[in-house]
Each structure stands twice: as structure tokens, then as C-alpha cells.
Structure 1
């Protein structure tokens, strides 16, 4: 079909769950990224791929979403399939039905499940009992779909991932966790700068550092945003208070104020550094308006790439390559 990606590796991904980037090899991640580039190119050329013809994705949302819902729903449509939106009030999980029963029932109706929820344990249990692929649309611990789009964006902008220097400045949250793992897997260096007490989980940091050693890259944790930004190819940030942490907003604003990505931070990075944000953004808080709306910002290319990266993922784990 094409030479942009390893079809043998892609075929090996069929039926596989996407719960975390921990479970995917460097080769598999690059295969997904190359497939995303291929599908994006065909889409821009007006060429149609329907590898998911007749397939249905159940989308369970216990957390609100813009990019996740729209990109998966549109992606399924463009690939020839359909998506079924299920809010927490639409299914019996909210009334006490077990995860195992839900997994078994949905497995008999649809071809894949994407869930956006709070507890990683919910997704792990769903995958254990389902006989169809389960995709992590976001949990409090990981956000792997976003990182696929992020790596795709960096690869498009910089031409490579290996040896890139990524600075993540902000909360050691699900984004930081998945970025550390993703960067380590593809040989990129990442430095995470968080206020004291808001660093990523030690267990995930240690896992990412172990992987990074194997790929001759590095994962570093610091409390200095200026140190993280020094000679960076990419400056990345996220909101200071994630969904469910609204009661901590004032406390977090005080702790994170010195970690705002602004002109001073960007000046520490390489001249051709790009700025990234997974969105939604709070201009004037975690990032200044001049940076997020400036020439170095690639946030909308990054956001668009959610569609293309997820189409590649859906094709690899649920589809038939044409």
C-alpha cells in the first residue's frame, strides 16, 4: 500500500489496547506516527480511506471534552465507521452496573471502546474484561492520545524526534506522565519543571528514566523553569488546575505563578523553538498571550493532529489496511 510505515508492525497492533504508552515499543510508536502522516497526506489530497467500514466505536465520557470527542467522532466517520457517544448518564455504570458486565455487553455490540474517565483502574478493568480494543481517551494518570499528536507535531516541525530537547513547564500531571514516557520511548530528552510538591509521580519518573537510558536520552525533574527551558527545541505547558482540581485554583495560582511560560522563558530556548499546549488554555495564567498567539506557537497544528494521530491508532487496532 505504501512505504511510509511498517505494515507488518501495524498488523501486529490489530486488537491491541491503548491504555498507556508504556505498553508500546519505540518501533510501534513510530509506525503509528508514520501511518498518521500517510493518512493526513491522503486526507489533504482528498483521497478517501475506509479501513473501518462497518465498524463502530463506543465513546464513554465521564469527563467533559472538546478535542477528544470531536477528533474521535470525526475520525471514525472519515475512516468509514461510526461513533456512539455515551455520557456517564447514558449507561448503567452510573447506576452501579459492574465494569465487567459493561465490558462484556459492549464487546457484543461494537468493535472498540474509547473511554475518558478519572481513574486509570477503570480503564484497566474495562480492558481486562472486554474482548475488543480499549483506548484511553484520558485519565487522571495518563493522556496517551494527546502525546501521540504531540510527537506527530514535533516530528512534522523538526523532522525528527531523536535527540530533541523538550521542556515541560507546569503541573506534574497526566500530560507530564505521558510526555515523559513518550519522549523516552522515541529517544527525545525531556525536562519537567514543576513547583515543589507538584512534581510527577516518582514511579512514573523512574520508569521513564529507565527507558531513556536504553535510548540514550534523558528524563530530568527540576523546580527551575529557566533551567528546563535552556536550549529547548520545544516548550510545553498545561493548565495549572486540571478537571476536578477547581477547589485548588487559588492555591495553585500562587504556587505556579513563577512557572508561567512567557517571553523570558522562550528567550532561554533555542531561537527556532516551538510552543505547545494541549488545550484548553488559560491565557494570562500558565502562558502569556503573546507567546500562545505568537509565531512560535503551534497549538492549532497540534490540536488538528489529534484527528490524524487517532485515525492512525484506530486504523491500526481496529481496521483493515487498504
Structure 2
């Protein structure tokens, strides 16, 4: 059966650790393995604009000996005349893997259904699992063992980052706190799935409406943009609803003295986070951004090995 990576819990705790171990190896020796030598091609499809995802996948595929084929859905048949499953059946005969940054999770699931090459979720409205691999790698580098770490996500808990933190953090055995106002909480289904995983790994998941209570004693404080692509018309409302969840120096002071700050970027300085936090000593966002490259390379290597076993 072909292995895909569509959401964070598509891999087990052991498999997650294997991928992170491999990411550390590839970060130390960037050109150590070339599973895409040939070069083999990886299709990287974009429904949304991108900086970090586009660059990290293109560079990473090249590092692995392959050739990235960047496809914009605006200039393809996908989502227009052709279904995701039909596109996948064409691509699988020519490429080694398919990476897709899209809107609906259902499209990714349709593409993966019956496809003989790995399909990777490079971002959907529901989940951002590649970013979470990079985030976990960064936390591990700066704080050691992930198990038992307390991580707080502040702001829109219903966004893809909030939901991925629940699943990936629980898989790693972390204590995940989501602090969001009413109306911005994660899916009940995702919460339930994360709770089941946490029972197995020794982690925990918890919802807060009070951001100050959530941040108290945290190891890592995380936020994300409050106005994601496609929600620009809601900006004024969202800024009003989420204002008290902004990460500033006073908020960081409630966490552990050695706590770290993370943000997947791009950041709206002065909205969800103050500039002095982004640029401060506790911020590890630039390592986090770089680690997209290493984590995604490790994921591709791991998926290709699983599917060629």
C-alpha cells in the first residue's frame, strides 16, 4: 500500500521520530543521499501563493538528486476540467511523488486514493503537516526530547496550524494547549483524534480561552497569522476577536524563563506578534524556516523508502 502524508497522524510516533532523526542527519550532511537521482521528477502543485514551501521543496528535491516540476493550478487542468484523481493517474506515470499546496483537504484525499506514488500535503485549509515536522525538528534542536514539552498555540485554533499542532504534538508526546476565543476553536473531531493519540503517547491536549493561563509555564509559545489567504475580507473582525491573544513581551514573560517563540511565517508584525518578540533572543523562527528544507527532504526520503520496500 502506498504511503501518503496528508495529515500529521498519518505517521506513528515511532515513524515521526525516524523522520526527525533523518532530518538531523540530512542537515549535518545535506547531500548525503540521492534517492531521486536520474534525475527523477517530483510534481509540486500550487493553488496558493508561497515562499517557504516553494523554495524548500524545490531546493530539497534538487538536493536529493531530483528535478522539481512546479505546477500552478491556474495554468493547468486541475480543478477545472480535470478531477484530482484523474490528474494523479496522469502524473503517477511520470513522477516519483506529488506535493500539493491547496485549499480543501478532500482534494488531497481524492488525489491519494488509489495513487501509486506518495502524495504530500504541502498545506491545506485543515492541516499543515510539513510545517509541523519542521517545527518539531526545531524544538528538538533547541530543547531536546519532545516528549513532555508544553507547547501553547495562541490565536485561531481552527486554522491549519492549530489543528496540526494538536495531532503532531500529541504524536510526539507533548502537552499541547490551544488558546482561542469562542468561534475559533479546532474541529471537535481533530480534538478527539488528538486526545486518543495523547493517551497512547503520554501527552495531552487542552483548550483555553484565557491566553494568560495557557501560556503560564510553557516551554514553547507559538502563533500564526490571524488573516490567512482567502480571509482578507474578515480582517477587521478577526483582529478585534483575537486582539488579546497577541504575543508580546509580557505574554512571553509568563512562560518559562528559557521558553522559545515560534511562528511559521509570514508574520504580521504588530498584530499577532510584536516585532521585539520576533527579533528577540527567545525567537527561533529563522531556524524554523530553514528546517522546512531538512524536514521535507527527510519526509520524501522516508516515503520513497516505504513505497519501494
Judge same fold: TM > 0.5, yes or no.
yes
1:169 aligns with 2:154: yes
Which residue among 17, 36, 46 is the counterpart of 2:4? 17
Match of 2:121 in 1: 136
- Structure 1 residue 129: Cα displacement: 3.6
Q: Distance in 1 between matches of 2:182 and 2:111?
A: 35
Task: Give unpaired runs (5+ residues) of structure 1.
Answer: 1-13
Q: Distance in 2 between matches of 1:203 and 1:95?
A: 30
Match of 1:36 in 2: 23
Q: Distance in 1 between matches of 2:188 and 2:101?
A: 24
8 Å contact kept, 1:103–1:129? no
8 Å contact kept, 2:26–2:32? no
1:217 aligns with 2:203: yes
Q: How many residues align?
A: 305
Q: Secondary structure at the match of 1:179?
A: helix
Q: Secondary structure at the match of 1:92?
A: coil
- Structure 1 residue 98: Cα displacement: 1.9
What per-residue deviation string (whole Å, max 9, x for no partner) do you get for residues 182-229 of structure 1? 110111101000111111111101110111122222100010111111
Which residue among 49, 53, 72 is the counterpart of 1:68? 53
Q: Secondary structure at the match of 2:221?
A: strand
Report the TM-score when normalising by structure 2.
0.96
Q: Distance in 2 between matches of 1:106 and 1:89?
A: 17
8 Å contact kept, 1:15–1:318? no
1:154 aligns with 2:162: no
Match of 1:125 in 2: 110
- Structure 1 residue 48: Cα displacement: 4.0
Q: Distance in 2 between matches of 1:205 and 1:256?
A: 21
Q: Secondary structure at the match of 2:192?
A: helix
- Structure 1 residue 15: Cα displacement: 4.5
- Structure 1 residue 140: Cα displacement: 0.2
8 Å contact kept, 1:168–1:235? yes
What per-residue deviation string (whole Å, max 9, x for no partner) do you get for residues 44-88 of structure 1? xxx543222122110110011111110000001011111000001
The 5-angstrom pairing of residues 280-295 of structure 1 reads 280-295=266-281
Extract structure 1 runs of 4+ deviating beyond 3 A. none
Q: Distance in 2 between matches of 1:95 and 1:273?
A: 46
What per-residue deviation string (whole Å, max 9, x for no partner) do you get for residues 166-197 of structure 1? 01101011101111101101111010001111
8 Å contact kept, 2:85–2:112? no
Report the TM-score when normalising by structure 1.
0.92
Q: Distance in 1 between matches of 2:197 and 2:27?
A: 29
Task: Give unpaired runs (5+ residues) of structure 2.
Answer: none
